[in-house]
Structure 1
Amino acid sequence: MESASPSPARWFRALRRTVSDSRKSSNSSLSEEVIRKSRSAFLFGKTKTLEFRVAQLEAIFQMLVDHESQFVEALHKDLHRPRFETLLSEITTVKNEARYAINNLKKWMQPAYIEKSMTSLLDVGFVQSEPVGVVLIIGSWNFPIQQVLVPMVGAIAAGNCVILKPSEVSSSAAELLNTLLSKCLDNECYHVICGGQADLMELLENRFDHIFFTGDRSTGKMVAQAAAKHLTPVSLMLGGKNPCYVDKDCDIPLSAKKIAWARFVNAGQTSLAPEYVLCHADVEDKLVENLRLCVEEFYGKNPQESPHFGRIVSVEHYKHVTELLSCGNVAFGGQTEESDKYIAPTVLLGVQESDAVMQQDILGPVLPVLSVANLDEAIDFINKKDRPLATYVYSNSSQVVSEMMSRTSSGSFCSNDSLIQSLCISLPRGGMVNSGVGAYGGKYTFDTFSHSRSFLLRNRAIECVTYLRYPPYMDKNLNLMLWASSLLHKKDGWCQII
């Protein structure tokens, strides 16, 4: 008996599954081929010489110089980002990282010799930084160039092969990276794989030697879970509710200017920016008024018309941020336009600790301001929450700054300014617990992508002491071995056996 023909709906669903399976197979094959190619190059030792690493770092630097206008254009398409912000936060940041690594790489690659006890006095002991292998770097959409290229600089400096997965949300930047990196860097060792969330999860099914992720916590958890299947070490750069305390003893106009810049740069889509302000009740009105004046000074009476103010990256994210505007009361700002993905710089008052704007990462131009009675109340408020990516304090009192430093915990800390610590190349970047795992920036990125391999080159003459370790055991031999293997304690210029 002839079987019945499938309905049009069933046929379409079957066709869609076939196309999806075909695409999945194609993407999976591409990922596997790229990883195989990278691993082969690494095992061959191609990335290990100083000369090769420096040449690739120089190529990244030159790429940024030669194609600066293209990067500016791509980020304007993705985020309506002003050229000033792109050059400062993306291009110059990566160029400085590359130049810093080039200038210091020879020193970083040198072995570090160890202190020795009597049992190793005649030996040579040292620690050598070695590359871990093939690493995966996953970037976020809010700073799509520097959040993949800064860790890539460190991974290259450490001698690894690198696979980049830029965010598909900043599609223009991702496409540009894909085009330029394939032209500028070695095609066996460095690759870009584009795609969405499903493509990322497929990619994570493969084994890597380190995974570096920048993004939201929910995706970070999925990355960590996928990495755990292969026991792959991970670095997670996540967000956090960064507190900012404004003391009554501070320069309010100047503080407001720094806070407004940090919160509203890149249309607020900065994970390191202040997420909320805790200010002394005596200065709340003055602070809010100065924030309003700063916004007008920066962007004019209508920021939507300003060439210096960006846009939200996507309609989906726009909707998320606009929902947060219903928390508390709008002190100023609050204007929105979905077709332009525009949200005005906004300050909220009367916000409750339980409101969504105080629970979720904002990543938009919205700043809640809450009043507190004193420093102790501010510190208690901060410590009730998960540890943030950064903590900020504005005060003329060194005692207030010291109290905030010692009684809070966060990925980084900055007094009397905000966000600016990210420009200090010698300081590590990264969070702790909920705001991240690991650190990067300068030498810290090199260390993240390196294995500290220990070496002990034994001198056979030391056997005159270490022969005492062999059975049959005797108390006399034990006492001599304990003496020989104990570290020396320096006290008042004299060495004493511990």
Structure 2
Amino acid sequence: MENQILDVLSLQKSALLRLSTSSATERMEKLRKIESYLMQHKNELCDALYADFKKPASEVVIAEMLGVKREINHTIKHLKSWMKPQSVSTPLMLLGTKGLVQYEAKGLCLIISPWNYPFNLSICPLVHAIAAGNAVILKPSELSPATAAFIQKMISSLFDPSEVAVFEGDASVSTFLLEQKFDHIFFTGSPAIGKVVMAAAANHLTSVTLELGGKSPAIVGPDVNVEEAAAKIAWGKFLNNGQTCIAPDYLYLHEKNYYSFLKALEATVETFYGKNVAKSKDYARIVNRRHFDRIVSLLEDAKEKGAQVLFGGKTDADDCFIEPTVLIHCTPEMRIMQEEIFGPILPVMSYQDELQVTASIRQGDKPLALYVFSTNAEFNHYILDHTSSGTSVVNDCLIQFGHNELPFGGVNHSGIGKSGGHYGFVEFSNQKSVVIQRTNLLKNFYPPYGVKVRWMIDFVLKWL
């Protein structure tokens, strides 16, 4: 495979000029081909994701297909305007010039995608890369092999390898790819592997986008409608069996509505998945045994250190099944409060005032997402102003990922760079500054620096 990768890299390097100078119409046509293939092979994609971790078909449509289709349509609608050079205002010192920001393709791009939303998080960055005029090598996760095979089949049927190519395989394939010289790397995954990617990119001074994760908190204020907030948090947490990078990782409940909220949350989970969750067709599974064992070990560690299972807690290793589980009496020394859970376990803590909450959040790494539930604008602003996160949502969960006009990404430990809509296009572009000189006024500052020139320099220093 290494020789195949090198051959494709050679082909793509030869195609870079053609791709970077392609028209908006040509790029949009490529995006339409992806959309058309997706709609024609919807059932095949659903089957692949069910084979990988029993993802319900409705969740495939909501969380995999809809996001890609939305990104394609939004990009097609705006691509011509995005590609146009953007004029900027002229400083007085450069009177007579014209300044532009010209967006040019970065060139050869590598996308390494994760297993939790293996189609969406492969194809959305691909849409941005194509829109910006790049050549792309895509490495899907080996932990979702059926979906990786679907992506391979789709891309090979739609694109010449000189434009887009897919390489499947284990971590050794990613390692070899990271040893090559790319112009940009887009990685989605854990912070630990993100550090590996960033270190490899540093060898070639390659720019990176790192969509990582972390422990994203949800804070419920004292004034909420507990039934409504419980439903939103349950959906955000247990969608895809908790394997969502922006899922609420842990929950702060105000002591005023602590018990009423937990009661509503338990009722909501039963409404969503029935009394016997294992038989629900609407509940996915953990992707593999290794991740199952990791999550169970977090649960057992918490219980040993004093946490109590309020409801849930059932597991089945043969089916990689973990029931929606809520833990109370959680404390900072528990591993479940230190590591990203990435599964259907929700630790809950009570609080008395927002100062206590924000101080606790700031002690950890900056999360990818933060959720605050309250009808009190002052409370919401206080939480947002006294914490740092890549994204935030007031009175809902997960919806920030679907907002085309907002940047999506982390901060520091939870990510570097942004994606989504225009921000995704820019991420795969070099913003080249262009200054067009239309006068010769600067000749008045050329040497020799006589009295007149020195007077003009002093004048500029004083007044500009």
The TM-score range, normalised by the shorter chain, is over 0.9
- 1:427 corresponding residue in structure 2: 406
User: How far off is 1:282 after superposition?
Assistant: 2.5
Match of 2:39 among 46, 65, 69: 65
Rate the CA distance shift 1:175–1:45 in 2: closer, same or farther, 3 A: closer
Match of 1:439 among 406, 418, 431: 418
- Asked whether the equivalents of residues 466 and 481 of structure 1 are also in contact (C-alpha less than 8 Å), the reply is no
- Asked whether the equivalents of residues 130 and 451 of structure 1 are also in contact (C-alpha less than 8 Å), the reply is yes
Question: Could you tell which deviates more after superposition, 420-429 or 175-184?
Answer: 420-429
Rate the CA distance shift 1:370–1:36 in 2: closer, same or farther, 3 A: same
Match of 1:246 among 207, 214, 220: 220
Residue 381 of structure 2 is aligned to residue 405 of structure 1? no
Rate the CA distance shift 1:299–1:450 in 2: closer, same or farther, 3 A: same
Residue 271 of structure 2 is aligned to residue 297 of structure 1? yes
In structure 1, what residue type is equivalent to 2:194? G
- Asked whether the equivalents of residues 211 and 415 of structure 2 are also in contact (C-alpha less than 8 Å), the reply is yes
Q: Aligned runs of 1:201-240 on 2, under 5 Å?
A: 201-240=175-214
RMSD: 1.5
Residue 341 of structure 2 is aligned to residue 367 of structure 1? no
User: How far off is 1:344 after superposition?
Assistant: 0.2
Residue 302 of structure 2 is aligned to residue 323 of structure 1? no
Q: Aligned runs of 1:328-347 on 2, under 5 Å?
A: 328-347=307-326
In structure 2, what residue type is equivalent to 1:148? S
Identity of aligned residues (%): 37
Residue 395 of structure 2 is aligned to residue 416 of structure 1? yes
In 2: Cα distance, 1:117 partner to 1:393 partner: 42
- 2:123 corresponding residue in structure 1: 149
Rate the CA distance shift 1:310–1:228 in 2: closer, same or farther, 3 A: same
Rate the CA distance shift 1:69–1:249 in 2: closer, same or farther, 3 A: same
Rate the CA distance shift 1:185–1:396 in 2: closer, same or farther, 3 A: same
In 2: Cα distance, 1:130 partner to 1:478 partner: 40
Residue 446 of structure 2 is aligned to residue 470 of structure 1? yes
Q: What's the secondary structure of 2:197's corresponding residue? A: helix
TM-score normalized by the length of structure 2? 0.96
In 1: Cα distance, 2:279 partner to 2:407 partner: 37
Residue 58 of structure 2 is aligned to residue 84 of structure 1? yes
- 2:143 corresponding residue in structure 1: 169
In 1: Cα distance, 2:442 partner to 2:408 partner: 45
User: How far off is 1:122 after superposition?
Assistant: 2.7
In structure 2, what residue type is equivalent to 1:442? G
Q: What's the secondary structure of 1:204's corresponding residue? A: helix
User: How far off is 1:478 after superposition?
Assistant: 3.7
In structure 1, what residue type is equivalent to 2:336? V
- 1:490 corresponding residue in structure 2: none
Match of 1:137 among 111, 122, 134: 111
Rate the CA distance shift 1:483–1:87 in 2: closer, same or farther, 3 A: farther
Match of 2:16 among 23, 26, 42: 42
Superposed CA deviations along residues 410-447 of structure 1, whole A, max 9, x for unmatched, are 00111111111111121111000000000000000000
In 2: Cα distance, 1:263 partner to 1:395 partner: 18
- 1:24 corresponding residue in structure 2: none
Q: What's the secondary structure of 2:222's corresponding residue? A: coil
- 1:352 corresponding residue in structure 2: 331
Residue 267 of structure 2 is aligned to residue 273 of structure 1? no
Match of 2:456 among 477, 480, 487: 480
In structure 2, what residue type is equivalent to 1:438? G
In 2: Cα distance, 1:220 partner to 1:478 partner: 53
Q: What's the secondary structure of 2:370's corresponding residue? A: strand
In 2: Cα distance, 1:40 partner to 1:46 partner: 11
- Asked whether the equivalents of residues 132 and 450 of structure 1 are also in contact (C-alpha less than 8 Å), the reply is yes
User: How far off is 1:470 after superposition?
Assistant: 1.9
Rate the CA distance shift 1:251–1:51 in 2: closer, same or farther, 3 A: same
- Greater than 4 Å deviation, 4+ residue runs: 481-486
Superposed CA deviations along residues 114-170 of structure 1, whole A, max 9, x for unmatched, are 222345333332111000101001100000011111111111101101110100001
In structure 2, what residue type is equivalent to 1:349? I
TM-score normalized by the length of structure 1? 0.90
- 1:187 corresponding residue in structure 2: 161
